[in-house]
Amino acid sequence: MSKNDFVKSRIVTVEDAQRKIGIWKMKGESIVFTNGCFDILHKGHVTYLAKAADLGNRLVVGLNSDASVKRQGKGDERPINPEDARQTILASLTFVDLVVLFDGDTPEDLISKLQPDVLVKGADYDPNEIDKKSKKYIVGSDAVRANGGNVEVIDLVDGYSTTGIVKKMKE
């Protein structure tokens, strides 16, 4: 298999992800899930994803579709990179095992379908927040905990954000 085909094999549908995760779980491997737009991949993203991967055996990344990113209100120009480019870039990272696109406003449905062992978000969220209306609430945390999983947060790298990069480019 070529390296390009290998990268492409990591970009999967929800159904393919469910099958692969089922096999991994039968082998006793733990599944870590995180999600985001990952529009312009930067040091903060890579550091965050590498630390997330350290929390289990396999890292699955839920990626917001272009339409989903647009609905997030991050700006008319967002996403900068289209979903197929963002998928390819994420899938090329050695510590990312699968990339699954989702079109919802949140990854709640995807998390319920994939049933990860560990759900990870940045430390701007609170793993103990239970108010679903709070900006600090981690979507899907209740489903992960109901299945016996853990919810973790990872410190963000100061000075790195896609919004900051876009702002700098405009200046």
Per-residue pLDDT reduced to its tens digit, 9-61:
999 999 999 999 999 999 999 999 999 999 989 999 999 999 999 999 999 99
Question: pTM higher than 0.85 for the full model?
Answer: yes
- pLDDT tens across 97-135, in order? 999 999 999 999 999 999 999 999 999 999 999 999 999
Q: Which domains does the chain have, with CATH numbers?
A: 3-170 (3.40.50.620)
Q: Is 75 left (phi over 0), alpha (psi -120 to 50) or beta?
A: left
Q: 79: cis peptide before it, omega within 30°?
A: yes
R_g (Cα) of the chain, nearest Å? 15
- pLDDT tens across 87-100, in order? 999 999 999 999 99
DSSP strands (E only) in 43-161: 58-64, 98-102, 118-122, 150-154
Q: Which of 134, 127, 69, 59 is nearest to 102 (CA)?
A: 69
On whether the CB atoms of residues 29 and 57 are closer than 8 A, the answer is yes
